[in-house]
Amino acid sequence: MAAKKRKAELKRKTKETDIRLTLELDGSGRVQVKTPVAFLSHMVEAMMKHALFDLAAEAKGDLEVDAHHTVEDLGLVLGEAFLQAIGDKKGITRFGHAIVPMDEALATAAADISGRPYLVCEVNFPERDQWEFDMNLVREFFQAFVSAARLTLHLRLDHGSNYHHAAEALFKAVGRALGQAAARDPRVKGAPSTKGKLD
């Protein structure tokens, strides 16, 4: 019997943002992300591509204020979709870890689909006079994602002098770690926990 598809479709509309997305965990990395923040779209695309998740996402936001609401709300909706798609967590690997280089940058991510939302973010992006994207929002995105997805995520930027390379290595590392953690393991019977469940 074929395994049940782990898929979720969500919409969220507020006075600040309008987001809709479809996420499938057992995919091949087919990704289409459309937001008014090009850097955000690029980073999320890289993350999902390297997780081998399929994602179709579209977001609109109040950029006349700033990008904060769009970034945070996309993290929330993506996290909610992940939580819905992962289901009862039976048969998953649970833990994932990745170290990803991108030119001079090196990033590490470790994930636990534990049911306990917790983010450790040891990331300091290289300084410059002006970023095309507020790099402070990278942490906000992952905090929102972790809270909604109910998982533990440890992030570290080991080094990097180019902020774009540093961010991209980080998002790719998260994608790789999530892909490992969400993968089904035929040896695992039930939830991979001594408690018998993950919530």
Chain-centre distance for alpha carbon 185:
21
Residues 6 or more apart in contact with residue 39 via CB below 8 angstroms: 132, 133, 167
Report the pLDDT value the prediction gives residue 162, as an integer from 0 to 100.
92
HSE value, Cβ hemisphere, 13 Å, CA-based, for 157: 24
Averages of pLDDT over runs of 10 residues in the chain (199 residues) are: 83 95 97 96 98 97 89 97 94 95 97 95 83 89 98 96 94 98 81 58
DSSP for 57-94 reads EEEEE-TTT-SHHHHHHHHHHHHHHHHHHHTT-TTB--
Report the pLDDT value the prediction gives residue 75, as an integer from 0 to 100.
98
Report the pLDDT value the prediction gives residue 199, as an integer from 0 to 100.
67
Sign for the pseudo-dihedral over CA of 84, 86, 89, 90? positive
Tokens found for residue 180: 């490992």
For tokens 């973010």, name the residue: 121
Parallel, antiparallel, or unpaired for β 54-61 and 95-102?
A: unpaired
H or E stretch covering 45: helix 38-51
Give phi and psi for 101, each to the nearest 5.
-95, 145
Judge if pTM exceeds 0.85: yes
Domains and CATH numbers, the chain: 7-182 (3.30.230.40)
Report the pLDDT value the prediction gives residue 169, as an integer from 0 to 100.
98
Contact predicate 177/124, CB 8 Å: no
Report the pLDDT value the prediction gives residue 197, as an integer from 0 to 100.
63
Backbone Cα Rg of the chain:
16
